[in-house]
Structure formats: C-alpha cells, structure tokens
Amino acid sequence: MSVTGKCLCGEISYSIDNPPALTGVCHCKNCQRQAGSAFSTLAGVPLDELHISGEPKLYTDPDTDSGNTVKRFFCGNCGSPIYSAVQSSADMVYLKTGTLDDNTTFEPQFHVWCETKQNWVDIPDGVPAMPGNPA
C-alpha cells in the first residue's frame, strides 16, 4: 500500500512506495522560518520511491548553519512546503509530514538542531536529540 499526501490546495500531490525510511524533527531556524512554526517534521524517503503529481516550485536555501545548501520544494499556489533535499544525501528526500494524508503513525525517531529549538518545546525522554547537524 502506498503512502499519499498533498498540499493545502491539492495542486501538488504525491505517493511513496513504502513507509518512510526515517522520521524526525528539525529545529533549525531556517526550518522554523520555512514552516512558519516551531520546527519541521520530516519523513525521509528514497528519491526513487517518491512520485509527484504537479510541478512544485523550488527555493534554494544556501544560508544554513550546517553550510549545506537545502533545496526546499513547495506549492507555488498555496505555499505548502512539500519536501526538502540536501546534497549530502542525494538519494533521499525529506517530506514535510503535515502534508501526509494520514500522519497518525508519525513518531519522531530523532530531533536535530536542538540548540535553536524554541524554549517551550519539550522533547520526550528516550528520543535522541542532537544540538546541531548529526553528520
């Protein structure tokens, strides 16, 4: 059974062949700005398992604390972030889990860039939390 999702207006939709390979939360300032929220929830998916319908727009984000350029794909109509890609893991993309049609099984396996997380955000005991980039 494939996993599906879409942007707010439905112009961009996608399916993935298998459940995500990994799940996490990024607390970096750029993800906070891009999501308009306290963090970005992510599902790592092999690029060759992602099937997109519609044409997402691309913002190339070169000004990151890690020094890695992040490609941020989003709907040009409603602005919903769809996924991100980084050069260091070229075969993987990171879906924004708020766009999943069913996100009831989402459970973060890790948190990254916790040194810039918002003070009111609590990370559950037992979930790995890294101050910066896990690389």
The domain spans of the chain are 3-116
Residue 102 in this model has a pLDDT that exceeds 90: yes
Name which CATH class applies to 3-116.
Answer: mainly beta
What's the token pair of residue 68? 């890695």
Category of 65 on φ-ψ map: left (φ > 0), alpha (ψ -120 to 50) or beta: alpha
SS3 content of the chain, % helix, strand, coil (to 5): 15, 35, 50
pTM > 0.75: yes or no: yes
Name the CA radius of gyration of the chain, rounded: 14
Which distant-in-sequence residues (6+ apart) come within 8 Å of 82 by Cβ? 7, 12, 14, 52, 56, 73, 74, 75, 95, 96, 99
Residue 63 banded pLDDT, cuts 50, 70, 90: confident
Tell me what percent of the residues of the chain surpass a pLDDT of 70.
99
Please tell me the least confidently modeled range out of 26-35, 59-68, 111-120.
Answer: 59-68
Across the chain, mean pLDDT equals 92
Alpha helices by DSSP H, the chain: 29-35
86, two tokens: 């980084």
Q: Distance between CA atoms of 134 and 111, rounded to whole angstroms?
A: 9
What was the pLDDT predicted at 1? 56
